[in-house]
Structure 1
């Protein structure tokens, strides 16, 4: 059976697919690829089933070796690619011959790249998904050097396109907001869209923590009971610094949700690096 053999990793490398929706009642979130559009694009280019698993690679540093003849593609953050020392473009369908190695360098912009293999990655499923959930600790463990990852047969069709243009991840990002169910817990919810924010260093797949002039919190409101939460929810902790929930967010939360990022824009948040600027606008 064909496989990818991992020779080196840099930042975190996680197996991801479309996640495991429908289990919030038992305390399990959806998780799945942080940049769903890039994950899905890699699978479409290779003719994979939409649910096929890929590798989510943070800031490059991954080196893999082909065991058998493989077709691969890298999307998302435009990592510098090399096959057998030969430079290759992000977004291209590439052939890896047995024993050939693919390396992903550090992308000049963006945060997460997605490495897909024709047929998908054949790791064990848990609750119907191969996704790694960093908060719950579910799914395959983070990828390590020396690991052999089998290639599956999750195909939807033939390879019809050999390359697409890479998406740009440069410049300040502006995303749309809907007002949240608890926007009256902020002294001035409109300050969310009036002020610039920066991504804090302790941001991760659970949530994007934002730095900037804190929002005022209405005093003497007491405490909220735990309420259901979703990806893109903007929580307002007592310190007034917003947290935007990511794919591995908890299924409930006690801080007020003062806004919700438009779902179509949440993928863009997954490519922001610490220190980068983020702005909001009312959708």
Structure 2
């Protein structure tokens, strides 16, 4: 456990060194947040309330979404896939840790820094300059738990996308398809509550809403919060178990590059 704690700290320190990249990403988030808020607030403002969202709720949805997108690393990463392609993953597998949980610990450290550098500032900006609803004090611990589960679900999906390289050698096609679809399926484009009923029901059986829409719903107190958290917890546990199973099978059955 001490090793995983150090890996989490290393992940925090690693991403805190890229300050210019963080500021550039933050500026991009704010600019796109302004565009999204202008569009959605105009659409909702004319009707007053749409699917439980008024203008203030739209503000929270937009600015939380802009921050959570970076917090959960929605667009994915390719570090593990690159190490599998090069064969360097063999070194990682020989180290005295479980690779899945080692990478998860490092990702938690990254998420911790991103929480401070990419999630909190857009929310503060939105709360200062636009209508913004704040939840009850009892909701904050639930929101924090929801964020943790959201990052866990995201990590599980990212790990599986990278682990597919054990079999495919090049996973860029799968990652491209994921990047195209995840924006809509996780509720980043528009709130899932705006979707037709059948689409909401279909998405409820997938892990995608857990990454963006679920934390926002918990913050806005839309729907039963414990039901939302239970949905996230189920997918977080299921994906971590699937990650473990996938890695175990890959180690036993697959020959990586380099022998």
TM-score range (shorter-chain normalised) is under 0.3
More strand per residue: 1
TM-score normalised to the size of structure 1?
A: 0.24
Where relative contact order (Cα < 8 A, 6+ residues apart) is larger, the structure is 2
More helix per residue: 2
TM-score normalised to the size of structure 2?
A: 0.25
